[in-house]
Amino acid sequence: MSVPFKDVRVRLEELKSSIAEVKGLDISIGYVVEEWEEPPGPTPFPSIITLRKWDHALLSRYKPLYLPYCDLCCLCTYGRCDLSRGKRGSCGLNLSEQQSRLVTLLTAIGASTHESHARELLDKLIERFGEDWPIDLGGEVYVEMPITRLVTGVKPRTLRDLKIVLEYVERQIVQTIASVHTGQEGDWIDYESKVLHLGMLDHVAMEVADVVQVVTLGFPKADPEAPLVDLGIGTVDSSKPVILVIGHNVLPSAAIIDYLEETQQRDKVEVVGLCCTAQDLARYEKKRAKIVGPISWQLRFIGTGVPDVIVIDEQCIYTNIVEEARKIGAVVLAASDKALRGLPDRTYASPDNVVEELVSGKIPGAIILDEERLAEVAVKTALRLSPLRAKYKWSLFDEKTVIEYAKKCTGCRNCERSCPQNLPISVALQKAAKGDVSLLRSLYSRCFACRRCEYVCPVNIPILTLILAASRDAMVNERYRCRAGRGPIQDTEIRAVGRDIVLGTIPGIIAFVGCANWPDGAQDVAEMVREFASRRYIVTASGCSAMAIAMYKNEEGQTPYEEFSGSFEAGGLVNVGSCVANSHIAGAAIKIANIFAKLPLRANYAEIADYILNRVGAVGVAWGAMSQKAASIASGFWRLGVPVIVGPHGMKYRRMLLGDMGNDGVWYGYDAVTGEKVWLGPAPAHLFYAAESKEEAMIMIPKLCMRPADTPQGRAIKLTNYISLYKRFYGEDKLPPDIDLYIRTEGDVPVPYRDEVLKYLKEVGWKEKPVTSNPTIIEDIIEIYKKRRQGGS
Amino acid sequence: MTLEYWLYGDIPPGPIKASVITDIKHVLDIVKRFKSKLFAIGSQITRLSELTSPDLIDRIISVALSLGAWIPTSSPTIVKALDAKNVKNYEIAFPLELAQKIPKKGAELAIFIGYPYAYEWLILNYLKHYAPNVKTLTLEPYAQPNATWTLASLPLSLWYKNICSLEEMLKKGA
């Protein structure tokens, strides 16, 4: 295999010593990658252009439907340029190209963030555990790091092997982001290809980040029975000093736990987390950990006054958190140079002095970039500060104060016009002014606590504080059980389900991932999960969505994690872990191609992605997608042939990737064995889709799980789900109008709806279509299959 | 307030901005100019109904029917209401797939009501730039600057009265 760069180069013109004289010495020490049994694949360490052909094949099917957020470009001083209705800017770009350029930029931000996270974990954990630390993901995971193997061709055995992988990702991100500069890329399809490239790099970085922490920090290793942990504001014991950790990098939080254990104070202090740090804290400390909630719970929980010390690491942390902490007399400790927040650097100061400064209020917080020191300061500060700030804990307004504030409302509705959720705040305040706070309380589940309403209130009503005060009981009663992230999927699990997934008899794998920008609150995610797990889809989850799932109990009082098994099986619900653990979901799809179908994995990206697109009925659902990281995660799934559905806020990602159901021509591909050109149908119909409502998403999910390789039995099962959900929402007498596109032969017709479907097919003049069990959208695969049949590589 | 045009939050309007309808009667003048119309009803209509009046949905359907428009909707509530009224000229259509189809459907005027604000904002911007021959009219309670014509942002009670007036005027064949 080729490694595109060298690790070390020593060049000496002349060296004289007492032992010898050397002239013109030039030594390059290349990285030595241990060989593995699989022969080298065609695309090791792909550059931007390597997989362009695959990208163009995908993008010629799934073209962007542009949803410009802004009609102008203001990225250089040629402008601002008006790009409306076909105009081009001074640099020559039009509106479509500008949108694709902006998506490239967003995706680059996301990929860089994961890469930087991975880099920090790798460097620090190598320092602690050594380069020779083995990558051991447990006895049931033999194909470790499938994304890394697929993309780079490296089979990593130790932490050292991951260095070259991250160096590759870093170089490619820099190369790709440079294309966004004025006068570089100029065609939408090549920008979109770069988006896909960045998404793939993002997945490599995520896999490195998660695997490094799993193998070194004792996280569950592919354990379907990873422990259930407490989740919810109501689970926090506010009588103890409380350290709140927020972000995505677990190292500072883990150090706090370690310090508490070492000093035998673990029972004296509550350590609770928000967002992915909480997920990973639960994986680190297992049964004892407490998750407050998803990212949008930040200002809610801080608003309760409960946390004494807030430790921030990186990503998605409310940027004005120092001010928010100050309001409740808490302090902030910043653990990452990516989020310094204007605080003084106390990394090298004596911990006791820093504690003194914090407790006395001399400084509102501090930067401490050394985890052990930070842990000591956090614990000592929490212990001393907690009794001093007892008055803040659960110091929400009483109802009388809420009503008094509500009476100040002038009904201007600036709050509503500023609310990203369009919440009826003004109406709620007017009701509250009359003594009825029920509508105010009802906003709690849909509000994601951004405070935008407060910034525009002309009479300074603390609206968020009123919503929280009205919802005190709801917060106190937030007590749920969430399964700790289990990390990768076992090879044995893949073997057990691979056949049924590819045949379609397991109707799909659905990944509920992403942030907390849900249009109607967390419960929608939980309801969707329950529905599809009950329908025997394989359901996976990660990040804030995995937390949302826990916030819903059935009639027996069980959360979905208690109701469904934690195995990767039909009807299972698998929480893989934090954002970076999304890599295990992509990894599972890759492993189906490798373990079940026995396709070569090593640096064989296009063939595997083509296999997944055509045979593995997987769909990502990022119902509350908000961040740039969510964009890069989605992009990685697209390149791998996995469609992604987002909620209505996801429209703001500037373009969708839609198939044209009305254009028969785009749905042709090939039979990889015969080489014949065949109609594969709109399966999947779209690659990136924003649904307006939960109901629409629930119909779109089974539709996007259909694949050309489905057997008649599998297709019938998938259609049964599609039709039954359609009927549930729109009426028993209705059928989806596009089912004729998905029924290839009468064998595909779902038995429960046979008569009415056949009647409909007759009405629309349906004709039988050929079925292939070897579909591909790239012609090159035909040659590869031929060579393989002839015994070649 | 009634003349306020701008939007929620900080969403920037583009260089091509909607004409703001300040008198609901003007809607009649606009719709009369087009033969082929679609009247897309979104899922948020149920929420608007909760906040204004339970008869809102009936009134909206009545407006759509009076206009003789083709009605695409993805709202289960609207579908049930249309079925209850035995309306036939409707289609269950998801908004993005609808947006993709609108330029091909030959609709001259696309009317929107009941969609999440930013969601509709972006669909209208797609149509504005990529299907400039299709004129758009939004009847939402908040102004949508990417439409060809938009109502002004109004308090819900006033907006509801306007919808009632529109329904009455259309019924009278004004």
* pLDDT band per the 50, 70, 90 thresholds, residue B105: confident
Q: How far apart are CA A126 and CA A248, in angstroms?
A: 19
Mutate one of B41, B115, B125, B160 to test the A interface: name it (highest A CB count within 10 A): B125
A200's tokens: 């793939």
Q: How far apart are CA B165 and CA A742, in angstroms?
A: 45
Whether residue A793 lies inside any domain: the answer is no
Which residues in chain A are contacts of B42 at CB distance < 8 A? Answer: 692
Q: What CATH number corresponds to the domain at position B139? A: 3.40.50.1220
Please tell me whether residues A588 and A443 are part of one structural domain: no
Going by their DSSP bridges, the two strands A63-66 and A655-658 should be labelled as antiparallel
Whether residue B90 lies inside any domain: the answer is yes
Instruction: Read off the pLDDT of residues A725-779 as tens digits, 9 standing for 90 and up.
Output: 999 999 999 999 999 999 999 999 999 999 999 999 999 999 999 899 999 999 9
Q: How far apart are CA A137 and CA A60, in angstroms?
A: 39
List the single residue in B92, B118, B130 with the smallest CB-CB distance to A651: B118
Q: How far apart are CA A508 and CA A699, in angstroms?
A: 13
| Mean pLDDT, residues A448-453 taken together | 92
Whether residue B2 lies inside any domain: the answer is no
Whether residue B5 lies inside any domain: the answer is no
Q: How far apart are CA A179 and CA A511, in angstroms?
A: 31
Q: How far apart are CA A666 and CA A686, in angstroms?
A: 12
List the single residue in A411, A656, A729 with the smallest CB-CB distance to B76: A729
Quote the pLDDT of residue B3. Answer: 45
Whether residue B63 lies inside any domain: the answer is yes
Indicate the average pLDDT of chain A: 94
CA distance B54 to chain A (A): 16
Q: Is the pLDDT of residue A6 over 50?
A: no
Quote the pLDDT of residue A416. Answer: 87
Which residues in chain A are contacts of B128 at CB distance < 8 A? Answer: 84-85
Q: Classify residue A777 by its DSSP letter.
A: S
Whether residue B23 lies inside any domain: the answer is yes
CA distance A643 to chain B (A): 15
Beta carbons of B113 and B81 less than 8 angstroms apart: no
Cβ of B16 and A660 within 8 Å? no
Whether residue A737 lies inside any domain: the answer is no
Q: How far apart are CA A161 and CA A34, in angstroms?
A: 9
CA distance A66 to chain B (A): 6
Q: How far apart are CA A609 and CA A614, in angstroms?
A: 9
Quote the pLDDT of residue A418. Answer: 87
Number of Cβ pairs < 8 A linking chain A and chain B: 119
Instruction: Read off the pLDDT of residues A7-25 as tens digits, 9 standing for 90 and up.
Output: 544 445 555 655 556 555 5
Indicate the average pLDDT of chain B: 91
**Touching check for A644 and chain B: CB below 8 Å?**
no
Helices in A153-306 by DSSP H: which ranges? 161-177, 188-217, 251-262, 275-285, 298-303
Domain count, chain A: 4
Which residues in chain B are contacts of A418 at CB distance < 8 A? Answer: 8-9
Quote the pLDDT of residue A17. Answer: 59
Please tell me whether residues A346 and A466 are part of one structural domain: no
Please tell me whether residues A135 and A188 are part of one structural domain: yes
Mutate one of B121, B130, B135, B142 to test the A interface: name it (highest A CB count within 10 A): B130
Please tell me whether residues A179 and A103 are part of one structural domain: yes
Whether residue A783 lies inside any domain: the answer is no
Whether residue A718 lies inside any domain: the answer is yes
Task: Report the run of H or E that residue A670 belongs to, with start and end.
Answer: strand A668-671
Mutate one of A422, A452, A454 to test the B interface: name it (highest B CB count within 10 A): A422
Beta carbons of A442 and A476 less than 8 angstroms apart: no
Quote the pLDDT of residue B15. Answer: 83
Quote the pLDDT of residue A13. Answer: 56
Whether residue A136 lies inside any domain: the answer is yes
Q: Which of A193, A192, A191, A126 is nearest to A165 (CA)?
A: A126
Is A688 strand, coil or helix? strand
The length of chain B, given as a count of residues: 174
Whether residue B13 lies inside any domain: the answer is no
Q: What CATH number corresponds to the domain at position A49? A: 1.10.8.190
Percentage above 90 pLDDT, chain A = 91
Please tell me whether residues A275 and A368 are part of one structural domain: yes
Q: How far apart are CA A277 and CA A314, in angstroms?
A: 9
Percentage above 70 pLDDT, chain A = 95
Q: Which of A699, A706, A532, A543 is nearest to A618 (CA)?
A: A706
CA distance B160 to chain A (A): 15
CA distance A67 to chain B (A): 5
Cα torsion at A700, A704, A705, A709 (round to 10°)? 150
Domain count, chain B: 1
Q: How far apart are CA B174 and CA A539, in angstroms?
A: 55
**Touching check for A732 and chain B: CB below 8 Å?**
no
List the single residue in B16, B79, B118 with the smallest CB-CB distance to A85: B16
Beta carbons of A756 and A735 less than 8 angstroms apart: yes
Whether residue B89 lies inside any domain: the answer is yes
Q: What CATH number corresponds to the domain at position A361? A: 3.40.50.2030
Please tell me whether residues A260 and A199 are part of one structural domain: no
Q: How far apart are CA A589 and CA A246, in angstroms?
A: 30
Q: Which of B11, B2, B3 is nearest to B146 (CA)?
A: B11
Number of H helices, E strands in chain A: 30, 23
* pLDDT band per the 50, 70, 90 thresholds, residue A5: very low
Percentage above 70 pLDDT, chain B = 92
Cα torsion at B149, B151, B152, B158 (round to 10°)? 170
Beta carbons of A47 and A204 less than 8 angstroms apart: no
Whether residue B80 lies inside any domain: the answer is yes
The residue of chain A with its CA nearest to that of B41 is A692
Residues 460-519 of A with CB under 8 A from B: 519
Which residues in chain B are contacts of A658 at CB distance < 8 A? Answer: 96-97, 100
Beta carbons of A304 and A239 less than 8 angstroms apart: no
Whether residue A113 lies inside any domain: the answer is yes
Measured between alpha carbons, how far is residue A710 from residues A332, A651, A707 in Å?
Answer: 54, 30, 6
Please tell me whether residues A648 and A541 are part of one structural domain: yes
Domain boundary among A217, A251, A278: A217
Handedness of CA A94, A95, A97, A103 (dihedral sign): positive
Cβ of A85 and B128 within 8 Å? yes
Please tell me whether residues A212 and A312 are part of one structural domain: no
Q: How far apart are CA A276 and CA A515, in angstroms?
A: 10
| Mean pLDDT, residues A286-315 taken together | 95
CA distance between the termini of chain B: 27
Beta carbons of B11 and B116 less than 8 angstroms apart: no
Q: What are phi and psi of B109, to 5 degrees?
A: -130, 125
Domain boundary among A164, A195, A217: A217
Q: What are phi and psi of B38, to 5 degrees?
A: -125, 150
Q: Which of B126, B163, B121 is nearest to B145 (CA)?
A: B121
CA distance between the termini of chain A: 15
For residue B25, give its domain range.
19-171
Please tell me whether residues A503 and A606 are part of one structural domain: yes
Instruction: Read off the pLDDT of residues A167-210 as tens digits, 9 standing for 90 and up.
Output: 999 999 999 999 999 999 999 999 999 999 999 999 999 999 99
Please tell me whether residues A455 and A544 are part of one structural domain: no
Whether residue A742 lies inside any domain: the answer is no
Q: How far apart are CA A726 and CA A724, in angstroms?
A: 5
Instruction: Read off the pLDDT of residues A433-447 as tens digits, 9 standing for 90 and up.
Output: 999 999 999 999 999
List the single residue in A72, A95, A422 with the smallest CB-CB distance to B116: A422
Q: How far apart are CA A685 and CA A662, in angstroms?
A: 11
Whether residue A310 lies inside any domain: the answer is yes
Which residues in chain B are contacts of A731 at CB distance < 8 A? Answer: 79-80, 83
Instruction: Read off the pLDDT of residues A478-507 as tens digits, 9 standing for 90 and up.
Output: 999 999 999 999 999 999 999 999 999 999
Q: Which of A647, A483, A695 is nearest to A572 (CA)?
A: A483
B150 Rama sector, left if φ>0, alpha if ψ -120 to 50, beta otherwise = beta
For residue A610, give its domain range.
480-665+683-731
Q: Classify residue A579 by its DSSP letter.
A: G
Residues 400-429 of A with CB under 8 A from B: 411-413, 416-420, 422, 424, 427
| Mean pLDDT, residues A701-716 taken together | 97
Please tell me whether residues A689 and A552 are part of one structural domain: yes
**Touching check for A692 and chain B: CB below 8 Å?**
yes
Q: How far apart are CA A752 and CA A169, in angstroms?
A: 50
Handedness of CA A576, A582, A585, A588 (dihedral sign): negative
CB proximity list for A450: less than 8 A, separation 6 or greater: A299, A420
Q: How far apart are CA A408 and CA A721, in angstroms?
A: 51
Q: Exposed, middle or buried: residue A595 (CB in 10 Å: 0-12, 13-18, 19+)?
A: buried
Please tell me whether residues A148 and A190 are part of one structural domain: yes
CA distance A328 to chain B (A): 27
Beta carbons of A509 and A537 less than 8 angstroms apart: yes
Beta carbons of A757 and A739 less than 8 angstroms apart: yes
